[in-house]
Structure formats: structure tokens, C-alpha cells
């Protein structure tokens, strides 16, 4: 399949999964368990939506691998792996805050963002109906509208920055310290609670910079593909692939300056 065909498949499955997630939200949320901390929750809907996506892909692409937040990684024989976050922004979802997403990406390689090549992705916000799509070499769209911000210039003091925080209280305090140092250099911050939507938000023009430490591969797989296709520069620390150490997506005119400030302010821990 071409990257555009893979994108269309990711879109179709993500839209169906988003409808299921929204239906379960309207019925009421049941917390299934906590994960890394009491604040890090998983709902019954997370598991149901991931099971739905996994079953659809097993039917349509049985030779592909699968890497989901709730079910772990399974290798395939095709060389492609689907990377899925069934409900990104679970705390928002549990509280009824309309900023959560279904994220579906397909990559070439195994389930490691440092070695895979992103091919196509879809990020769908069930509450707003926003559908972000991107395919390698084919560009990015939001509800059919082309996204491209690669040639936009914004001075750092006028840049709006998005970030996210750890479920660990100790880690959050460290992250807040970095934000405090950066706050005086930029227009303002936004903390919206869903990494995939933060990642594509730079492409959409909602923000100019997004960075976060501690993300998982499924948090940023689709968003990175989409943002890059929209002309956003997305990397990790010192030119590495985006990953747990850092995901930084920014307008190209801002990237180096923000990257260097984050290092100066201690992002490497």
C-alpha cells in the first residue's frame, strides 16, 4: 500500500474508534485501574477501544505488527507496525474535558521511535470532530484543509508554548522549574493534557512550540508524522529522534533557540 492508502486506513479506523470512545464517554466512565501512580488511570473504554482497533487491523492487515498503550507490542512479518493510543488524554476523558484523542500511526520497523520510520498517521478528537491526517511525502490536513507552517516566522517572545507533565509529583515539580525559567522568554504556556493533540496543535497553528519529557511512543507517533508533513521540525535532544528524553516540535524558525534554552534550563535532567 502507498503511504496515502495507509493514511486513509488509519483515518477510517481512528474515526470508528473515536465514535466508540465518544459513545462510552456519554454513557459514563468507569476507571479500570491505576498504572504508574494513582493519578495515572486507565478506563474500561481505553481497553475496549484498543481491542476494537487491534481487531480491525488484524482483519485488514494481519501481517503487520501492533504496539498499543494497553496491550503491548506484537511483531509482524510485513515490516510495518501500527502504533496506537486508544484514548490519549485519559484524565481529560474521565473528567469530561473535550480534549482527548484517538491516535493511530503506522511505521516502518519495530516498536522503537529511535529506529522506526513514520509512514502515516491519524489523530482524531472525538469531542470536537477534528481529524488530523499525515502521510510521508503527501502533506498534512485538518478536516481536509492543508496544514503547512514551515515558513512561518514567530519571535520567541511572541511564541505560544504547549507542554505536558508527568504523573509523578516529584517529576512534575522538576518540569515546572523548567517552565518557570522559560516563561519569561515566551508569550505564554498552554497545558491541555493530551500529547497527540499538543503535537498536531503546532501544525494547526494553535501553538508555536510543543515540548514534553517522558512521553511514550504511542503518545507522539502519529502526531510526529503529521506535524513534520506540515513543515514543523520535530526532534529529540541534540538531533536524536523524539522519544522519552524529549519530544520537541516547533516552527523551524524557533526550534534551535527553544532547544538550546531547554538544555540550558536542565531538560536533560
13 is catalytic: no
Handedness of CA 95, 100, 55, 16 (dihedral sign): positive
Q: Rounded CA gap, 218 and 55, in Å?
A: 18
Catalytic residue among 3, 43, 90, 141: 90
- How far apart are alpha carbons 6 and 107 in whole angstroms? 10
In the beta sheet, which residues pair with residue 101? 88
In this predicted model, what pLDDT tens digit does every residue of 64-111 receive, in sequence order?
999 998 877 889 999 999 999 999 999 999 999 999 999 999 999 988
Is the pLDDT at 145 greater than 60, yes or no?
yes
pLDDT at 41 over 70: no
Domains and CATH numbers, the chain: 3-147 (3.30.540.10), 156-264 (3.40.190.80)
**Does 16 show up as a binding residue in the annotation?**
no
108 annotated as a binding-site residue: no
Q: What Å distances lie between residue 214 and 91, 116, 118, 246, CA to CA?
A: 17, 18, 20, 7
% pLDDT > 70, the chain: 96
pLDDT at 69: 85
Q: Residue 251's pLDDT is what?
A: 98
pLDDT in tens, 199-224: 999 999 999 999 999 999 999 999 99
> Which one has a higher pLDDT value, 220 or 30?
220
Say if residue 69 carries a ligand binding annotation.
yes
Marked catalytic residue, from 88, 198, 208, 235? 88
Taking a C-beta distance cutoff of 8 angstroms, is the pair 208, 159 a contact?
A: yes
What DSSP line would sit under 1-57, residue for residue? --HHHHHHHHHHHHHHHHHHHHHHHHH---EEEE-SSTTSEEEHHHHHHHHHHHHHH
Residue 164 has pLDDT above 80, yes or no: yes
Average pLDDT of the chain, as a whole number? 94
Cα separation of 234 and 224, whole Å?
A: 7
Amino acid at each position: 500500500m502507498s503511504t496515502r492508502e495507509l493514511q486513509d486506513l488509519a483515518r477510517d479506523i481512528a474515526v470508528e474508534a473515536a465514535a466508540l470512545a465518544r459513545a462510552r464517554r456519554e454513557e459514563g466512565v468507569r476507571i479500570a485501574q491505576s498504572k504508574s501512580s494513582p493519578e495515572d488511570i486507565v478506563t474500561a473504554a481505553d481497553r475496549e477501544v484498543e481491542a476494537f482497533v487491534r481487531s480491525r487491523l488484524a482483519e485488514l492487515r494481519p501481517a503487520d505488527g501492533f504496539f498499543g498503550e494497553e496491550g503491548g507490542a506484537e511483531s509482524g512479518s510485513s515490516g510495518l507496525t501500527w502504533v496506537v493510543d486508544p484514548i490519549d488524554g485519559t484524565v481529560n476523558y474521565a473528567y469530561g474535558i473535550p480534549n482527548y484523542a484517538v491516535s493511530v500511526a503506522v511505521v516502518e520497523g519495530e516498536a522503537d521511535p529511535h529506529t522506526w520510520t513514520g509512514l502515516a498517521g491519524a489523530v482524531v478528537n472525538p469531542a470536537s470532530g477534528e481529524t488530523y491526517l499525515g502521510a510521508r511525502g503527501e502533506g498534512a490536513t485538518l478536516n481536509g484543509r492543508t496544514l503547512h507552517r514551515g515558513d512561518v516566522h514567530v519571535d520567541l517572545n511572541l511564541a505560544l508554548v504547549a507542554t505536558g507533565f508527568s504523573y509523578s509529583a516529584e517529576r512534575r515539580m522538576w518540569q515546572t522549574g523548567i517552565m518557570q525559567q522559560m516563561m519569561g522568554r515566551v508569550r505564554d504556556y498552554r497545558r491541555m493534557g493530551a500529547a497527540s493533540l499538543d503535537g498536531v496543535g503546532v501544525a494547526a497553528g494553535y501553538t508555536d512550540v510543543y515540548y514534553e519529557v517522558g512521553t511514550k511512543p504511542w503518545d507522539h507517533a502519529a502526531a510526529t508524522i503529521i506535524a513534520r508533513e506540515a513543515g514543523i521540525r520535530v526532534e529529540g535532544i541534540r538531533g536524536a529522534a523524539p522519544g522519552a528524553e524529549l519530544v520537541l516540535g516547533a516552527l523551524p524558525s524557533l526550534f534551535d533557540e527553544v532547544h538550546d534554552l531547554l538544555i540550558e534550563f536542565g531538560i536533560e535532567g
